[in-house]
Amino acid sequence: MNPNYLITLQKKNNKFILIGYMDADYGVSLDDRRSTTRYVFFFGSGPISWGSKKQSITCKSTIKLEYCVATDDVCEAIWLHCIFTNIGIPQKQPTVLYCDNRSVLKMVRNHVFHECTKCIEIGVHFIYNHVSLHNIQLFYISTKEQTVDVFTKSLDSIKFEYIRGFLSCSLKT
């Protein structure tokens, strides 16, 4: 970002609501084929929590990587939800998490596990429990609209400007 810009918090739809975006780049490092994961959470119109991490191990499957990301991001959402409750701004609606991987969404909704998915079964049940308790809602977002990319990827100017507008950035005055 540019030091001449500010990120402001404004109500979205007359509410301060918590929304998250998560993503992973599978095997993106050419040196060791490790993946990069990232997330961003918005409160109202501005980002309040974000992170990016190169994974410490090389994942053998994209679905396992995406589920690790989703499990970690559900934990972050629950933690943020608790913070807002403790400071007197309880979130009455579930925290919405956007993901650009349809497999994650399908596995949370369909509890049929196969031999190749056994290793991620616990993470799926963790996410499913929070979805069924209405703490979390998972939705698909296209890769083109993935807001979290601005924190970790080189973007063309059109996508960068689009996402910067979405971040409620304005020039300092």
The set of residues, in sequence order, having a beta carbon less than 8 Å from that of 78 and lying 6+ positions away, is 95, 130, 135, 136
Tell which wins on pLDDT, 28 or 101. Answer: 101
What's the CATH code of the domain at 76?
3.30.420.10
Q: What is the pLDDT of residue 64?
A: 75
What's the pTM? 0.77
| Res. 83 pLDDT band, cuts 50 70 90 | very high
From CA 72, how far away is CA 84, in angstroms rounded? 19
**SS3 for 5?**
strand
Amino acid letter for position 123: G
Residue 147 DSSP symbol: G
Q: What is the pLDDT of residue 163?
A: 74
With a CB cutoff of 8 Å and minimum separation 6, the contacts of 21 are: 39, 40, 41, 97, 98, 99, 141, 146, 147, 148
Judge whether residue 57 has pLDDT over 80: no
pLDDT score of 43 = 85
Helix or strand run (H / E) with residue 23: strand 18-25
Residues spanned by the domain of 47: 5-171
Q: Quick check: 67 pLDDT over 70?
A: yes
pLDDT at residue 78 in the model: 92
Number of structural domains in the chain: 1
Asked if 22 contacts 49 with a C-beta cutoff of 8 angstroms, the reply is: no
pLDDT for 133: 87
